[in-house]
């Protein structure tokens, strides 16, 4: 997956699916990919940190599904949890992701989606 973070610039992440229940849940653990400093051979930190992201789908009606995005850093080393503020640094981005997902799922056929 292509990514951008102001402190790192452009880089890639490799996502490993670790949970999957059709139409209900998908969870993945990211690994630093090309361009990420932790993916470099001389990196002092692991390329895979133990962070877990997931989407949980809860059907409400035939036409409505509530999507909940979660981030779990309970498996991450203490110093790295401090660096990421226990995942709080991503809350705003998670909100934007869910907004984009809502736009994609509720748009009229043929309507264009504009990036943030």
Q: Which of 59-73, 80-94, 96-110 has the lowest mean pLDDT?
A: 80-94
Query: What's the confidence (pLDDT) of residue 113?
Result: 57
Q: State the average pLDDT over residues 4-10.
A: 84
Tell me if 38 sits within 8 A of 51, measured CB to CB: no
Closest by CA to 69, choosing from 48, 52, 50, is 52
Nearest Cα to Cα of residue 25 among 61, 87, 67, 74: 67
pLDDT at 44 over 70: no
pTM: 0.72
Q: What percent of the chain has a predicted confidence (pLDDT) above 70? A: 83
Residue 60 pLDDT greater than 70, yes or no: yes
For 12, 19, 46, 52, 73, the CA distances from 4, given in Å and listed in that order, are: 8, 25, 19, 19, 20
């Amino acid at each position: 997956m292509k990514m951008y973070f102001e402190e790192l610039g452009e880089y890639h992440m490799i996502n490993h699916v670790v949970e999957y229940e059709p139409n209900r849940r998908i969870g993945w653990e990211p690994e630093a990919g090309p361009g990420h400093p932790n993916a470099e051979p001389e990196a002092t930190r692991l390329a895979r940190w133990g962070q877990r992201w997931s989407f949980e789908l809860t059907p409400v009606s035939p036409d409505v599904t509530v999507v909940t995005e979660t981030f779990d850093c309970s498996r991450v080393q203490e110093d790295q949890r401090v660096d990421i503020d226990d995942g709080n640094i991503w809350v705003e981005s998670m909100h934007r992701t869910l907004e984009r997902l809502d736009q994609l799922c509720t748009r009229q056929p043929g309507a264009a989606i504009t990036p943030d």
